[in-house]
Amino acid sequence: MPTILVTGGAGFIGSHLVDRLAAGNSNQVIVLDNLRRGRLKNLAASLSRITFVEGDIRDRAKLEAVTRNVDTIYHLAAQSTVMGAVSDTDYSFTTNVTGTYEVLRAAREMGVQKLIFTSSREVYGDQDRFPVSETAQLKPKNHYGVSKLAGELYCQVLSSGCFQARVLRLANVYGSRDFDRVIPTYANQAFQGEPLTLYGGDQLIDFIHIDHVVEALIRAATRDSMLSPVNVGTGRPTDLRTLASKIISLTRSTSKLVIERSRAIEVAKFMADTRLQKECLGMESPVDPLKHLPDVVQSLELR
């Protein structure tokens, strides 16, 4: 039975991945999470079938203990939002850069076979040509993007000759269990009848549902070989005015849209080139990026 470690496995993306990995009891799954952003309740459906360890990826001794005899690591533990990285730059650096180094070092020393690293579209920064391919110049414009790019480079260097490190650059992931990002923020504001704020008003965002991302993660680990990095997105961007209007309609809210000055640290436009996603992972892009939005909004209302 393969042994799989998921760092950050109690978080939004991590917990959905753990649910998938633990289904059917075909894997031995270990979750390491410091519960700073993750929640044990996210693992309620799988907790009896996994080993949960509360701990930090910067704790070398604990990391080595949970990595021993592991075949595959999904490394998701991170300070995972742009605004969070700006508000606490020290935690962002020590977790996303130092922590990733520690995970890779442990993987080398413990004989791990594969490591899947979740990077971000933020490594691209602002681009002039769309869709954005994996060969585009990398020019992150905020602390989060810089930290993810550093993690990618450490994956490249520390995995050489030891194990396979595969990098997925995720677009804007949405789904149940998320918070403090645009969709749950807008939904919560709409339920309360509060204004929905658009910073700049012309943002174009490539939204991708959590189910698609989990499938991409699974395939990245199970393919015999694949190019890396690979974008995971739809290539069909949504403007935030449309998103806000949809959420107001779904919640039957009286909320209004308020346009504020754009925030310099945010990337305003992104559309992923998904050709490698199809070639390497065998995954077609969803036709409707917001197909699951009604279910996600409903889950936020019931939370």
CA–centroid distance for 14 within its chain = 8
Per-domain residue ranges for the chain?
A: 3-173+208-235+272-281, 182-204+236-270+288-302
On whether the pTM is more than 0.85, the answer is: yes
Q: Is 23 helix (H, G, I), strand (E, B) or coil?
A: helix
What's the pLDDT at 303?
66
Q: Length of the chain in residues, anyone?
A: 303
What's the pLDDT at 21?
97
Please pick, among 144, 154, 174, 186, the residue that the annotation labels catalytic. Answer: 144
pLDDT digits (tens, 9 = 90+) for 139-152: 999 999 999 999 99
Which residues of the chain, if any, have pLDDT below 50?
none
Centre a 10 Å sphere on the Cβ of residue 287 and count the other Cβ atoms it contains. 8
Among 151, 41, 49, 52, smallest CA distance to 93 is for: 151
Domain 182-204+236-270+288-302: what homologous superfamily? UDP-galactose 4-epimerase, domain 1 (3.90.25.10)
Q: Which two tokens stand for residue 222?
A: 């199970």
Known catalytic membership, residue 199 = no
The CATH-assigned architecture of domain 3-173+208-235+272-281 is 3-Layer(aba) Sandwich (3.40)
Centre a 10 Å sphere on the Cβ of residue 273 and count the other Cβ atoms it contains. 17
pLDDT digits (tens, 9 = 90+) for 19-57: 999 998 889 999 999 999 999 999 999 999 999 999 999
